[in-house]
Amino acid sequence: MTVTGIPPAAAPTTAGRPAHRDPDVLRWLGAYTTSMLGDSVYYLALSWAAVQGGSPARAGLVMSASALPRAVLLLGGGVIADRLGPRRVVIASDSVRCAAVLAVAALLFLTRPGLWPLVLLALVFGTVDAVFMPAVGALPARITGKGQLARVQGMRGIAIRFANVAGAPLGGLAVALGGAPAAFTLAGALIAVSVPLLISVRVRDLPADRADAPRGTALADLGDGLRHVRRHRVLAPLMLTIALGDLGFVGPLNVGLTLLADRRGWGASGMGWVLAGFGVGAGAASLLLAVRGRVPHAGLVTGCACVAGSVAIGALAFVPALAAAVGVALLVGLLAGLSGALCGALLQTHADPAHLGRVTSVAGLVGLGLAPLSMPFAAAAIGVWGLGPVFVVSAAVCGLGGAVALLAPDLRRAEIPG
């Protein structure tokens, strides 16, 4: 991946503006939104093409092919983001992803090659994601001041919810009109829109004493980033809070909810309503942060939201009526969305900017590497002990993450600059 053709941008002159009025932040938000829309369409196109081209088992292999390189290479991706600069890495990553998707679209238009190009595309996406994700996490701190990072986290959350809601029907329409090749073409076009927007974003330089921080080998830089997290009195417990929250949250919402809807007789439409309730709650939390820009006592609120959200997660398994389940899911989304956005804002504001790519990669590895491992265990445990006990245990794990935030003095007292 080369970035030699992308010159460094000048330092922004709009640092004092609120994030929602800052042209650089808005250009970044537009680029991020179109990139996430492209991702949503891409995953739908990939799943459709995989199902059409092979057995369900082979389709599952295609869909999971990106997970391994992403998890294995994610920490190294954080080193690359800090060494080359997050803006350059995001531009290069989106360029590679766009080219790969359009190449597969052209191949599918011209021939029926089977599953091998889909597997290769998934591997490329997973590899590029390993550098894209830490760079995306490190970029907001380079385009706005610390006092605006909570608002940016809220704006980012809204973009993610919008992409999740709009991406599926867009991809479905493309598939209906032209099959998987058309959907891949649409995904590539959406990702392509992000590149000129990102090129126009101006980033601020690191302070002079930090600008050349990564000086050793890549392995030495990685160790330096891990030590930065381990020794930091806010980041270390924050990573544990994130890990426990994701471990307890992923199983019930990805596996348990499907089984819950089936056993309650709600069906697929009922599960959709519950997921919609969760999405509305999470979107409301993002909107709150985007509008307010700052939440006082952020560390304390994070811990309380984690604990309260864990209670709501546990209650979800014992709600008999669909309408009540939708209400509980809305509460789960609101509390989980608030705690997740605050965790992201605390990470952004308390990490050294020169280490932010590596710090973000550690947080990403927790979510992408550890949390998904809970899904098969959750499914097996539900088969043995039933839904109630597994939801309660998952809720306890989430609650333990909140307890860590409340019991760690520096994290509990942590604030987001306003």
Task: For residue 171, tell me if it sits in a domain.
Answer: yes
Looking at this protein, which amino acid is placed at residue 295? V
145-193 tens-digit pLDDT: 888 888 998 999 999 989 988 888 898 899 999 988 999 999 999 999 9
Query: Span 281-291, mean pLDDT?
Result: 91
Higher pLDDT residue, 207 or 311? 311
Task: For residue 207, tell me if it sits in a domain.
Answer: no
pLDDT at 11 over 50: no
- 3-state class of 200 per DSSP? coil
Q: What is the pLDDT of residue 415?
A: 93
Instruction: Say if residue 295 is in the same domain as residue 185.
Output: no
Which of 199, 231, 250 finishes a domain? 199
- 3-state class of 296 per DSSP? coil
pLDDT at 408 over 50: yes
Q: What is the pLDDT of residue 270?
A: 86
pTM across the whole model:
0.87
pLDDT at 34 over 90: yes
- What's the domain count of the chain? 2
Q: With cut-offs at 50, 70 and 90, classify the pLDDT of residue 381.
A: confident
pLDDT at 99 over 90: yes
Task: For residue 10, tell me if it sits in a domain.
Answer: no
Task: For residue 313, tell me if it sits in a domain.
Answer: yes
Instruction: Say if residue 111 is in the same domain as residue 178.
Output: yes
Q: What is the pLDDT of residue 165?
A: 85
Instruction: Say if residue 275 is in the same domain as residue 308.
Output: yes
User: What residues have CB less than 8 Å from 246, skipping those under 6 apart?
Assistant: 366, 367, 370, 371
Higher pLDDT residue, 63 or 45? 45
Percent of the chain with pLDDT over 90: 54
Q: What is the pLDDT of residue 4?
A: 40
Instruction: Say if residue 92 is in the same domain as residue 152.
Output: yes
Instruction: Say if residue 193 is in the same domain as residue 222.
Output: no
CATH number at residue 230: 1.20.1250.20
Query: Span 360-365, mean pLDDT?
Result: 91
Q: With cut-offs at 50, 70 and 90, classify the pLDDT of residue 56.
A: low
Q: What is the pLDDT of residue 211?
A: 46
pLDDT at 406 over 80: yes
Considering only 38-42, 183-187, 334-338, 385-389, which range has the smallest mean pLDDT?
Answer: 385-389
Kindly report the backbone phi and psi dihedral angles of residue 98, in degrees, each rounded to the nearest multiple of 5, phi listed first.
-60, -50
Instruction: Say if residue 158 is in the same domain as residue 226.
Output: no
Average pLDDT, the chain: 87
Query: Span 397-402, mean pLDDT?
Result: 95
Q: What is the pLDDT of residue 210?
A: 52
Instruction: Say if residue 29 is in the same domain as residue 136.
Output: yes
Distances (CA, A) of 234 to 141, 281, 294: 17, 27, 18
Kindly report the backbone phi and psi dihedral angles of residue 5, in degrees, each rounded to the nearest multiple of 5, phi listed first.
-85, 5
Task: For residue 3, tell me if it sits in a domain.
Answer: no
Instruction: Say if residue 187 is in the same domain as residue 329.
Output: no
Q: How many residues does the chain have?
A: 418
pLDDT at 10 over 60: no
Burial class (CB in 10 A: 0-12, 13-18, 19+), 379: middle
Which of 166, 199, 232 finishes a domain? 199
Spatial distance between the Cα atoms of 375 and 317, rounded to a whole number of angstroms: 16
Instruction: Say if residue 191 is in the same domain as residue 236.
Output: no
Query: Span 111-130, mean pLDDT?
Result: 88
pLDDT at 7 over 50: no
Which of 171, 199, 227 finishes a domain? 199
Burial class (CB in 10 A: 0-12, 13-18, 19+), 227: exposed
Task: For residue 12, tell me if it sits in a domain.
Answer: no
Task: For residue 357, tell me if it sits in a domain.
Answer: yes
Spatial distance between the Cα atoms of 25 and 27, rounded to a whole number of angstroms: 5
Q: What is the pLDDT of residue 295?
A: 85
Query: Span 401-412, mean pLDDT?
Result: 96
pLDDT at 331 over 80: yes
Instruction: Say if residue 244 is in the same domain as residue 122.
Output: no
Which segments of 317-355 does DSSP mark as H helices, in order?
A: 322-350
Higher pLDDT residue, 326 or 50? 326
Q: What is the extent of the structural domain holding 337?
A: 218-412
Cβ–Cβ under 8 Å, residues 68 and 74: no
Q: What is the pLDDT of residue 275?
A: 87
Q: What is the pLDDT of residue 228?
A: 94
Instruction: Say if residue 50 is in the same domain as residue 134.
Output: yes
Task: For residue 323, tell me if it sits in a domain.
Answer: yes
Instruction: Say if residue 171 is in the same domain as residue 28.
Output: yes
